[in-house]
Structure 1
């Protein structure tokens, strides 16, 4: 049986292997409380032990930003399959704003994401309405 580690709120996951360097090290942050969920060997996790240092919602944006992604792409190795060494990954340096600024930034970006989601849904509804009207026009 494969060894698996139990995950918890705030854990940050990274893929360790990909077919292209651009997809290497894609991240996800567990923003929900879960009871039974485990990490397997296809990715690795970073556990934040103090949310006074790194806000989980801010982390979800930070590790997907182009500045950080470019750092990951530079350490990816391979020709047909790209991999990231956990040792090299742990050497990466990142600058963090204060926890107060992280909360403000994360809240702002989250609000923008919600607005985008609403706008996309409205656009889809307008497209459906348009298609319906065009259909009715030619009956």
Structure 2
């Protein structure tokens, strides 16, 4: 998987992770898959998401790792009754989504591998088409 158990230590303690995952590695894996797909849906038009999420160790973008962990924890927490610390997790989730929207709009440019030009479907993403004003020869 893209996220290792040690990566979660930056955003949540190991005991708290066990509690919100209900001590199930399968729950954590499902939340990670959901988080990766959610992030990829924002990045896919401009960035090579396969290369981003297949990277390992120090080759991974640390911000993507942190936001993936934040989003996965948010999804895990959303399924619990009572939702402990929900406000904090909702705030971190919203911050991750805001960053992804900034990347998608081109206002934020992270150090991520770009899509190759060979047949990518999102080549026109971010391109603005326009034309000159219509000429009127009415004298």
Higher-helix-fraction structure:
2
Instruction: State the TM-score, normalized to the length of structure 2.
Output: 0.29
Instruction: State the TM-score, normalized to the length of structure 1.
Output: 0.29
Higher RCO (CA-CA < 8 Å; seq separation 6+): 2
